[in-house]
Amino acid sequence: AIELSKRVQLIKPSPTLAVAAKAKELKAQGRDIVGLGTGEPDFDTPEHIKQAAIAAINDGATKYTAVDGTPELKEAVIQKFKRDNQLSYEPNQILVSSGGKQSFYNLCQALLNPGDEVIIPAPYWVSYPDMALLAEAQPVIIETSIEQHLKITPQQLEDAITENTRLFVINSPSNPTGVAYTMDELKALGDVLKQHPNIIIATDDMYEHILWEEGSFVNILNACPELYDRTIVLNGVSKAYAMTGWRIGYAGGPADLIAAMKKIQSQSTSNPAAPSQAAAQEALSGDQSCIKPMLEAFKRRHDYLLEELNAIDGITCLPSDGTFYAFPNVEGLIKKLGCDSDLDLAELLIEKVDLALVPGSAFGAPGHMRLSYAASMETLEKAVERLKKVAN
């Protein structure tokens, strides 16, 4: 066997992608698998966005661009930050990358040293801890409970901070919980961070547009503008515009940090795909009305799923503020079925009733299960039926 780097042995493959792969494999064997594993809108990319990419290709967008994105796309990002977030950036404060995933990767590589600590509230997006580990930093996880609505308190944040804390990550609305922090909650967290000037803050706003209450989105910079000089805002087009396959994410933040992230990108992937950049430009600056019907569909599915899940003995689910995830506590069900853990329950569900869900452990929250409702109503109804079959 080939001896691999210590670095790669620190991490595991993305568990959500692993569930999707397993579901696909079983499907290929002819099993009627219902998969609520992936965090991917089931809608097609809106037509005007696709057309913009096609026109760009015909116009010669087939070459390298500037590493940090075309000037036109960066301008669209700047205008978007102004329009939606009341945040002001210069072009040297913006970096476009191949997905929000690469934005966060660049950030970790550009900022973190061995021994640095990265504070990550659980339940968390699966990639944060592993990307911190890849940068040889130490993830510091803050646990939450359903009683505190799966959100951290200012006291918990204060308690987690040490002299080694370098980065604090906040993702609201959250994958996997679907809950969002309020302005007041963000302000209280910001008050803690104000006392610790060495900490950089990353706000991952990927689900900003998928919020039930229109116009309700706020991030920590809106709540605490004093943190502007050490906050990086991460976002992308994957979720809001059903553009997961185009691979465009972007970041706005301090110019020196952005320059360092750009340097990492220049020696790894260079610019994101040129046609995708043209598509993202249209997504951000074109007609925004394409978001609403998708949002309404997600909300209908959320309402359906919430009611059905809470009606099952052994499952307790909080209402989400947005996203397309439900993250019920399933400890009762685990016990009832004699399973050892959420991992065990996930195995049982796929083996017994062909239902693929991602166990909460993948997100740092054992005893839970993530259901993505970026799936048709028909699929969700099937999923509920199968869950009931197992639970009763």
Contact between 52 and 279 under an 8 Å Cβ cutoff? The reply is yes
With respect to ligand PLP, which residue has the nearer C-beta, 14 or 164? 14
Choose between 89 and 125: whose C-beta lies nearer to ligand PLP: 125
Residue 362 CB, shortest distance to ligand PLP, in Å, is 12
**Distance between CA atoms of residues 212 and 67, nearest Å:** 36
CB-wise, 312 or 358, nearer to ligand PLP?
Answer: 358
CB closer to ligand PLP, 112 vs 333? 112
Which residue lies nearest ligand PLP, judged by its C-beta?
99
Do strands 117-121 and 249-252 pair parallel, antiparallel, or not at all (unpaired)? unpaired
Provide, rounded to whole angstroms, the least separation between the CB of residue 10 and ligand PLP: 20
Note the residues at the interface with ligand PLP (CB under 6 A): 39, 99-101, 125, 171, 175, 204, 206, 236, 238, 244, 249
Q: Of the two residues 253 and 353, which places its CB atom closer to ligand PLP in the complex?
A: 253
Q: Between 101 and 301, whose beta carbon lies closer to ligand PLP?
A: 101
Shortest distance, position 39 Cβ to ligand PLP, whole Å: 4
Shortest CB 169 distance to ligand PLP, Å: 10
Min separation Cβ 202 and ligand PLP, Å: 10
Q: What's the closest the beta carbon of residue 313 comes to ligand PLP, in angstroms?
A: 30
Nearer CB in complex with ligand PLP: 153/244 = 244
CB 196, min distance to ligand PLP, A: 24
Instruction: Tell me whether residue 99 or residue 333 sits nearer to ligand PLP (CB atom).
Output: 99
Beta carbon of residue 123, minimum distance to ligand PLP (angstroms, whole number): 11
